[in-house]
Structure 1
Amino acid sequence: MRACLALVLVLLPGFAPAASWHLDPSSTVSVSVPWRGTSVAVRFPELSGQIEFDERAPARARAVIAADTTRATTGVAPVDALVRGAGYLDAAEYPTVTFRLDQLVQTSKSTADVTGRLTLRGVTRPVSFRAKVFRYGPDPADPSRFAAGFDISGAIDRTQFGSTAGAPEVGVVLPVAIHLLMTSD
């Protein structure tokens, strides 16, 4: 009887189990750091993580995504060393920035509000972002797999995570842009 009930629940719409997904290597995080009337783009070129996502029930999504702070780059070696240093990312002490997805709320056919917890420099704080879908359907490279892509944007106040170096000359509210592409197993 339990087996029949479990099978019925799995077959009902909205009760499908979430599938594991893989981050595409093209996924990136970029943070714009205001400085002297301009901005410096800090990129995190390699992401890792675990994603559970059911394309029929996106609100059930759960994810943990990490960026390697030791690989954060501006493209200028002395600036990279400063950004990775103790006053900013403190990559030697905290080699990853982690985002844990708590909730994804669809706001239109192609947008969603994303909330979760960001851990930066050993401090965890709630954050909210806006997501816009740029791909949702069969993977162009392999139509037997499903692909989902989101451009996610928002901002964080770095002082809430203990990074106060250079303020106010170096901005404290940092716009964040995440280009996230994932594919199903």
Structure 2
Amino acid sequence: MNITTTMKSVFIAGVMSLSIAVQAHAQEWTLTPQTHVGFDIRSMGFSIVKGTFNQVQSRMSFDPQVPQNASAEFVLDINSLSLNKPSLRNMILDEDLFYAEKYPTATFNSHEFIALGDNHYSIKGDLTLRGVTQPVTLNTVLKPNTTNPQFLDVESKAVVNRSDFGMKKAFGGIGEQVNIEVNGQWKKR
């Protein structure tokens, strides 16, 4: 074995050790049951419909020292949706909007965490709703909880257009833009 080959082997072993060490510091998190995961639809500046998904499976791998290695996933049970206007439930779950009978879940899978400073992150990923996948960026604040180190406080928002996911446009006075919201806490697993 020559010196160059030996140095390459040492370098590769060092990089692999560093990679394993970095991954070892990333912690696994899940959203607390009290966390609000939902949406707000406005029309002409007024909130028309607010919804909350009551059954959410979530996972986040996150180390604030190396946020570029972070990842997050959500699976939302569409039928667990509760609304501020329960009389709209059937219409919203029907085939013109969520089409819950055919598409019972919505998913978000991140593919990039970008640190913006001061606990702010841009989380880029794919949202799949009604069998349609579109890129979505969650503007997010993730900060340590001041009273319990087992929690990270989270506030995350994004805006999507309903019609991008095959939902009927201009439906019953309901606005086209949907404000997606996650407010609450991640808890260490």
Q: Same fold, TM exceeding 0.5?
A: yes
Which segment drifts farther, 158-167 or 28-37? 28-37
* Aligned with 1:23 (options 31, 38, 56): 31
C-alpha contact 2:125 2:137 (8 A) present in aligned 1: yes
C-alpha contact 1:36 1:169 (8 A) present in aligned 2: no
Structure number with larger C-alpha Rg: 2
Give the match's secondary structure for 2:144: strand
TM-score normalised over the length of structure 1:
0.82
Please list every run of 5 or more consecutive structure 1 residues that lacks an aligned counterpart in the other structure: none
C-alpha contact 2:40 2:179 (8 A) present in aligned 1: yes
* Aligned with 1:79 (options 72, 76, 88): 88
* Aligned with 1:65 (options 71, 74, 81): 74
Measure the CA separation in 2 of the matches of 1:6 and 1:20.
23
Alignment RMSD (CA, Å): 2.8
* Aligned with 2:153 (options 136, 149, 153): 149
Report deviation, 1:122: 0.6
C-alpha spacing 1:46/1:28, structure 2 compared with 1 (3 Å):
farther
Measure the CA separation in 2 of the matches of 1:131 and 1:58.
12
Which segment drifts farther, 115-124 or 86-95? 86-95
Measure the CA separation in 2 of the matches of 1:124 and 1:8.
36
* Aligned with 1:132 (options 141, 149, 158): 141
C-alpha spacing 1:111/1:37, structure 2 compared with 1 (3 Å):
closer
Query: Which protein is richer in helix relative to its size?
Result: 2
Report deviation, 1:93: 0.9
C-alpha contact 1:101 1:116 (8 A) present in aligned 2: yes
Which segment drifts farther, 100-109 or 14-23? 14-23
Please list every run of 5 or more consecutive structure 2 residues that lacks an aligned counterpart in the other structure: 1-8
| Residue 33 (structure 1) aligned with residue 27 (structure 2) | no
2:60 corresponds in structure 1 to 51
Report deviation, 1:165: 5.1
Letter in 2 for 1:101: S
Which segment drifts farther, 100-109 or 29-38? 29-38
Equivalenced residue count is 178
Which runs of 4 or more aligned residues in structure 1 lie more than 6 Å from their structure 2 counterparts after TM superposition?
Answer: none
TM-score normalised over the length of structure 2:
0.80
C-alpha contact 2:122 2:139 (8 A) present in aligned 1: yes
Measure the CA separation in 2 of the matches of 1:177 and 1:124.
18
